[in-house]
Copies of this chain bind each other. A is one copy, B any other.
């Protein structure tokens, strides 16, 4: 079986944002869907993982947008594993125009397989990575070493957001896509009118629990580049780095 999986997605007009662009969380959803289908087809899907008492957990995701307008038309997502590092697997994505094959975006992600009882990472020793791995294939997007703590020097007082039923994933925690939405909601419409997101990167640190009030902090790192954080009490549950162009 081809170690690269390729899947098509079309965003209908009613799901575009007010600038007629593909909302980045929707693109994130397509990436997660492609990753899930790719893993399932190669014997490392949800059911197999669950039978082993394990689950995939997304740890980092970085997206580099090449052509924001092109993403609003039918797209093709290719995904493959790039490297396995003891307890992490790195997965890459290339997003192209379904009509022209032109590259529109790239993404890189880091996943851990955790033990469902202890919630700790488990070894990835096993056959799957070989079925998915294409080391060295072109994927021009970097994951930063560490994202600056927005809450240490925020631009303003934080907004708040309570974790509700519709935010929850199958584990009862704030869905990874909802983290993305919350980060992007830290910017006003003027920002989205004048610019679009070129680089979006998120790191997940802890579970967003039901009923907690999360504080969203934003910090300008340089013109157009921001660090964001979702904070529960005194702990950041996720951090993001967002660059507009």
Chain A residues in contact with chain B, CB under 8 A? 12-18, 20, 23, 25, 29, 32-33, 36-37, 46, 164-166, 168-172, 176, 181-182, 184-185, 187-189, 192, 210
Contact = CB atoms under 8 A, between A and B. Distances in A.
A164 B185 CA distance: 6
A192 B117 CA distance: 23
Query: Oligomeric state, in number of copies?
Result: 2
Contact of A165 (B168, B172, B192): B192
B192 A14 contact: no
B18 A169 contact: yes
A13 B170 contact: yes
A188 B189 CA distance: 31
Contact of A36 (B12, B170, B182, B184): B12
Contacts of A189: 165, 172, 210
Contacts of A12: 32-33, 36-37, 46
A185 B170 contact: no
A217 to B, nearest CB: 15
Contacts of A187: 165
A169 to B, nearest CB: 6
A172 B16 CA distance: 10
Given A18-B169, A18-B170, 17 more contacts: A12-B32, A12-B36, A14-B46, A14-B176, A16-B169, A16-B170, A18-B168, A20-B170, A25-B166, A164-B185, A165-B184, A165-B185, A165-B187, A165-B192, A166-B184, A166-B185, A172-B189
A18 B168 CA distance: 6
Contacts of A20: 170
A99 to B, nearest CB: 15
